[in-house]
Amino acid sequence: MVLPPSGVGNGLKNKVRLAYLVSHPIQYQAPLLRRIAQEPDIDLTVFFGSDFSIRGYQDKGFGIEVKWDVPLLDGYRHKFLPVIRDDGTQTVTTPLSYGIFSELRGRNGEPGYDLLWTHGYNTVNAFHGMLAAKALGIPVLLRAESWLRDRSRSGPKLILKKMFFQFLKNMVAGVLPVGTMNAEYWQHYLGDDVPTFLMPYAVDNEYFQRRSREAVARRYELRKELGLDAARPVILFASKLQQRKHCVDLLDAYERLINDKTDHPQPYLLIVGDGEERNALEERTKAKGLAGVRFCGFRNQSELPRFFDLSSVFVLPARHEAWGLVVNEAMNAARAVILSDDIGCQPDLVTDGVEGCVFPVGDVNALTEALRRVLATPETAEQMGRHALDRINAWSFEEDILALRGAIAQLTRKIVA
């Protein structure tokens, strides 16, 4: 069960020293860490295993060198742990670092930590942190994106997985589910004995809403750059161009949509992103003569609101997408969204027919019909977009703070009477 944030509102008796262990600086997490650091009674220090995302790195999904254009280290205390192995990738054994035990215990005259929060559980670094905390008697909070729609495993592997989670259950004092499907995962593997505190997988709503408002002034400029007629609606895809993202399904659905015999203006399809599938998608577009499709390449995080602003509907037809934070971003621009039913955020953010539409993953006919529904009239898409904005406003960093404070209050008992 998801526990209410007990003790929230009373404040914490003393300033709680919270350590957060994560592989590397992550663009989606930095704003949340800055927000936590503003809490007057939470003393946060973030421990990174690597700085590869600061240096710039080759993203396998995008297939290009990536360097994020948003601040990743500003506004919160952080330390990079000494490195044993770091090849610029993230796997079970890399990055590999040391020193977390002495940091948690306290060094250079500083006191030790009251709580360790780890991001993920299936790396050597994460387990090193958990073991160190366990040895020091420090409670461990765990947050990850896992869900039950996992790849199939043989009988022996399932037995090993159950044994692993029995071990993990003894290592952690609480978990922070990011949404409904993640909560089901923890309940399935850890049972009811480990307290859970719903900590929504959110983005910086204020930032994306502000950037979306600012984009309006430059709308004409981007339309001109892309050669778009303002009278025609825009369908937007923005993600890595990998096979599992199923952008080809959207391309096929778009072809069927524009072949409809209607008086409505034909929509454009903007494809923002890069990756291994791009060449094949471009060739398919050319072969089918789809003149309304635009390939826009990789765009950094701060640029995306300009594309949301142009669009009538955002579509993510992916398979096995653990969450899909780009959906949060699009909803902050008050845009209707169409999602496959194999995306982790769907149960929490999108109800079919309200904020947009939901269709069975891989079903091109159903995706085509979802596009028809949303684009039936401009008012339909606009109303769904308003519902999307209302829903995402309640899925924010403020709910994250409440969950974290509830976990701290229960696991450390530092509560004012």
All structural domains of the chain with their residue ranges: 16-201+396-412, 205-393
What's the pLDDT score for residue 88? 85
Instruction: Please choose, from the candidates 16, 76, 11, 21, the residue with its C-alpha nearest in 3D space to the C-alpha of residue 43.
Output: 16
The one-letter code for the residue type at 415 is I
How far, in Å, CA of 290 to CA of 284, rounded?
9
Phi, psi of 139 (to 5 degrees): -60, 145
What's the pLDDT score for residue 316? 98
How many residues are recorded in the chain? 417
Structure tokens at 395: 């899925």
Domain 205-393: CATH superfamily, name plus number? Glycogen Phosphorylase B; (3.40.50.2000)
Task: Report the 10 Å Cβ neighbour count for 130.
Answer: 23
How far, in Å, CA of 317 to CA of 325, rounded?
14
Top-level class of domain 16-201+396-412: alpha beta
What's the pLDDT score for residue 29? 94
Dihedral angle sign, alpha carbons of residues 395, 398, 401, 407: negative
What's the pLDDT score for residue 168? 93
Say what the pTM is.
0.91
Dihedral angle sign, alpha carbons of residues 358, 188, 191, 132: negative
Cβ 407 vs Cβ 389: under 8 Å = no
How far, in Å, CA of 417 to CA of 412, rounded?
14
Task: Report the 10 Å Cβ neighbour count for 193.
Answer: 7
Pairing between β-strand 96-97 and β-strand 83-85 as defined by DSSP bridges: antiparallel
Structure tokens at 336: 């209707």
What's the pLDDT score for residue 4? 39
- For the chain, list residues with pLDDT below 70: 1-13, 56-68, 150-154, 415-417
Residue 30, CA distances (Å) to 8, 74, 219, 413 in order: 23, 8, 28, 27
Cβ 204 vs Cβ 397: under 8 Å = yes
Pairing between β-strand 57-59 and β-strand 174-175 as defined by DSSP bridges: unpaired
Residue 265 gets which letter from DSSP?
P
What's the pLDDT score for residue 416? 37
Specify the 3-state DSSP secondary structure of 357. Answer: strand
Structure tokens at 260: 């409809």
**Is residue 5 reached through a cis peptide bond, with omega within 30 degrees of 0 on the bond before it?**
no
Instruction: Please choose, from the candidates 313, 330, 315, the residue with its C-alpha nearest in 3D space to the C-alpha of residue 378.
Output: 313
Specify the 3-state DSSP secondary structure of 376. Answer: coil
Q: Do domains 16-201+396-412 and 205-393 have the same CATH topology?
A: yes
Phi, psi of 402 (to 5 degrees): -60, -45
Phi, psi of 111 (to 5 degrees): -70, 165
Interior angle at CA 260, CA 256 and CA 263, nearest 5: 145
Cβ 294 vs Cβ 226: under 8 Å = yes
How far, in Å, CA of 165 to CA of 49, rounded?
24
Cβ 247 vs Cβ 237: under 8 Å = yes
Dihedral angle sign, alpha carbons of residues 259, 269, 330, 245: positive
